[in-house]
Every structure is written in C-alpha cells, then in structure tokens.
Amino acid sequence: MYNLPGSSKAVSVPDPGQTEPGQNLGTTTVSQARTVGEVLADSQVEPLLAELENELIGLAPVKSRIRDIAALLVIDRLRANMGLASQVPSLHMCFTGNPGTGKTTVALRMAQILHRLGFVRKGHVVSVTRDDLVGQFIGHTAPKTKEVLKKAMGGVLFIDEAYYLYRPENERDYGQEAIEILLQVMENHRDDLVVILAGYEDRMDTFFQSNPGMSSRVAHHISFPDYAVDELLQIAHKMLSSQNYVMGEGTAEVMQQYLQRRLVRPHFANARSVRNALDRARLRQASRLYADKDRVLTETDLSTLMPEDLLASRVFQQQSPTE
Ligand SMILES: Nc1ncnc2c1ncn2[C@@H]1O[C@H](COP(=O)(O)OP(=O)(O)O)[C@@H](O)[C@H]1O
Ligand SMILES: [Mg+2]
C-alpha cells in the first residue's frame, strides 16, 4: 500500500494470489483452455467468486452482475483461444450507491478477478478523488492526472465521487482537462487499465448526462442498494468475528435497536457506520475492563461486547443529533 503525492486516500492493493505481473496467463494453460471449467480452474478465479459470494453479506444484485461480468470475461478468453476475432471488451464500470454500501470493497475484488483472468497485468487498485487528479493552477492538472494513470496502469483506477471532476458552474474548471485525459486513456489503454467511477447514483446520472463521452465508455453500471437492518446486523457479526470478538448475551438485540435508530440519523453510512459503532463499542469495553485493575480477565471477558458497551452510545439518548 502506498500513498500518491498529496493524497491520503490513494491505495494500492496487489492481488495476493499472484506473484509476478503478467505471469499468470497467456503462456500455458489458460491459453489452451477449451471449456469454461478449464478457464475457471487454470485462472483460479473460482475461489475469488466464491469469496465474493460468501464473505459479503447481502448485495444480491451486485453479486449477480459480477457473475455476469465474470462469465463475459471467461467466454472472451475462450473466444480468444479459438482465434475468434475480438476486441478487448470494454470493462470500465460505474458503481453507484450510498456511502458504506461496499463499492470500494467490491472494486478490490473486481480488480483481482480481472487480474486472474488476464485482463489487467497487476490487479492493483489505485483509489483517487478529484484532488488527486486536478491541480489548483494552470498546467498542473495534466501532469497530476498522468502521474495517477501511470500508477494505475495494469490495474484498476477507482475514482470516488467522480462527478466532482465536472463543475459546470465554473467554466474554467481544470476538472474538464482531467476528464479529457481520462477519456483518451480509457479508450487507448483499455487492454491494460480498467476505470471504475463511483458515487451517489443521482449525481452520477447527472454527470453522465453532461459527459456523454464518459457515459459511452462505461459499459457496466452496477448499483449498490442500502443494507436492511438484518443485513447490517450480520455485517456486525462478521466484522466482530474477524477481529476475534463476539456479542455477549443480549448484545445482538441492542445492536439491532442501535441500527434502527442510527439508520434514520444524519450521516448514516451503511456498513461503515456499523464499523464505526463497533470501534466505539470496543473502546467502551476496554474502559469497562480497565476499570477493575485486580480482576483476572478471561478470554471471554476480553473478547465479549456487552449490551452496555452499545447502550452508552448517544444514539440511545433521544435529543442528540449525532452519534
Ligand atoms: N456486504 C458487506 N459485507 C461485509 N462487510 C461489508 C459489506 N459491505 C461493506 N462492508 C464493509 O463496510 C465498510 C465500508 O465499505 P466500503 O466498501 O468502503 O463502502 P463504500 O466504498 O461504498 O463507501 C468496509 O469496512 C467493508 O469491509
Ligand atoms: Mg468507498
């Protein structure tokens, strides 16, 4: 993981399943595959698809779209093996949905799927926002955007809140320059770079209406629904167990009430709000345990969140407008 200059959000996550870029495909097995099963087995993409299915709660429509895209990619491989003329399929995507609905998480997995099937060389994700691409002064934007593109080559460029690139109220906005460079690269380097634009659905729609060039280059639009309370609760269980915590007696019920209240408050951010709530609950659990200096703490004590660890949240105090 590294940061781009001037950016705290840019991340790079290589596909841990592969070592050397470009080694996985094109030479031996996958290039000889004649069946879907052979491509799946040789590319080792199936465990990734299974992981996506099992580790992410809910998201049924998203998972089904990813399966469709994976099918397209696999068949494209088989067609190429047969020597059937084919253009590299356009794989640029748009992920729309509210904050915390899993867009970034799915983009990381998508990058790995693309990599294993040989559609990008490295499978890393470079995640940026407008400020990483657009400069403050004349002449600064092109080098900034090109630098980011250089880092993203061979992987996925994830542009969060992509519509901020376009500011129609300011006719001299440098965002337009970044968009034009992106458009060129999205067309000319589509065999080695996949761009995923992400953000709120309505703003993205407006952005595409004003930027038909961008709209025509994005082939796959995937919309991420908000989670229902029971899904958020399952996400909470999953997050806790991955950190070796569990909910003690009565905690799940309190968590459910917490979520019902949190859901209608300002700045609710789906699974991200769950993560934040659990972080705070762990702080409270730690203070609770810390208070008794002489008590021998068992494994259960250390790993159990109790109802009071959540009930102390401001969400349970009627008046307060924030958490
Ligand atoms: N379906 C899910 N199952 C489990 N955890 C999830 C799910 N969706 C999101 N998360 C978790 O919630 C947090 C926020 O997700 P993220 O992908 O950053 O959302 P977005 O990019 O849409 O704002 C991350 O920690 C992620 O692991
Ligand atoms: Mg995100």
pLDDT in tens, the chain (323 residues): 333 344 445 555 565 554 444 344 444 467 788 999 999 988 999 999 999 999 999 999 999 999 999 999 999 989 988 989 777 888 999 999 999 999 999 999 999 999 999 899 999 999 999 999 999 999 999 999 999 999 999 999 999 999 999 998 887 899 999 999 999 999 999 999 999 999 999 999 999 999 999 999 999 999 999 999 999 999 999 999 999 999 999 999 999 999 999 999 999 999 999 999 999 999 999 999 999 999 999 999 999 999 999 999 999 986 555 54
On whether the CB atoms of residues 21 and 121 are closer than 8 A, the answer is yes
Sign of torsion, CA 143 96 222 217? negative
Cα 83 from Cα 61, distance rounded (Å): 33
Ligand that lies nearest to the alpha carbon of residue 233, given by its number in the listed order: 1
Q: Looking at the CA of 51, which ligand is closest?
A: 1
Q: What is the pLDDT of residue 87?
A: 79
The whole-number pLDDT of residue 31 equals: 77
Q: Which ligand has the shortest distance to the CA of 269?
A: 1
Task: Quote the pLDDT of residue 129.
Answer: 98
Q: Which atom of ligand 1 is nearest to the CA of 101?
A: 22
**CB neighbour list of residue 106: distance below 8 Å, 6 or more residues apart:** 52, 56, 59, 62, 66, 95, 222, 224
Residue identifier of the C-alpha nearest atom 13 of ligand 1? 272
Q: What is the pLDDT of residue 321?
A: 52
For ligand 1, the distance from its centroid to the CA atom of residue 100, given in whole angstroms, is 5
Question: Residue whose CA is closest, atom 24 of ligand 1?
Answer: 272
pLDDT value, residue 15:
59
Taking the centre of ligand 2 as the mean of its atom positions, its distance from the CA of residue 49, in whole angstroms, is 20
Which ligand 1 atom lies nearest to the CA of residue 102?
A: 17
The answer to pTM > 0.75 is: yes
- The closest residue, in CA terms, to atom 3 on ligand 1 is 56
Select from 105, 159, 196, 233 the residue to mutate for testing ligand 1; criterion: most ligand atoms less than 8 Å from CB.
105
Q: Which atom of ligand 1 is nearest to the CA of 238?
A: 4
Ligand 1 centroid distance, CA of 102 (Å): 4
Question: Pocket residues for ligand 1 (CB within 6 Å)?
Answer: 56-59, 97, 99-105, 235, 238, 271-272, 275
Ligand 1 atom at shortest distance from the alpha carbon of 97: 22
Q: For residue 127, which ligand has an atom nearest its CA? A: 2
Full 3-state SS string of the chain: CCCCCCCCCCCCCCCCCCCCCCCCCCCCHHHHCCCHHHHHHHHCCHHHHHHHHHHCCCCHHHHHHHHHHHHHHHHHHHHHHCCCCCCCCCCCEEEEECCCCCHHHHHHHHHHHHHHCCCCCCCCEEEECHHHHCCCCCCCHHHHHHHHHHHHCCCEEEEECHHHHCCCCCCCCCHHHHHHHHHHHHHHCCCCCEEEEEECHHHHHHHHHHCHHHHHHCCEEEEECCCCHHHHHHHHHHHHHHCCCEECCCHHHHHHHHHHHHHCCCCCCHHHHHHHHHHHHHHHHHHHHHCCCCCCCCHHHHHEECHHHHHCCHHHCCCCCCC
pLDDT at 307: 98
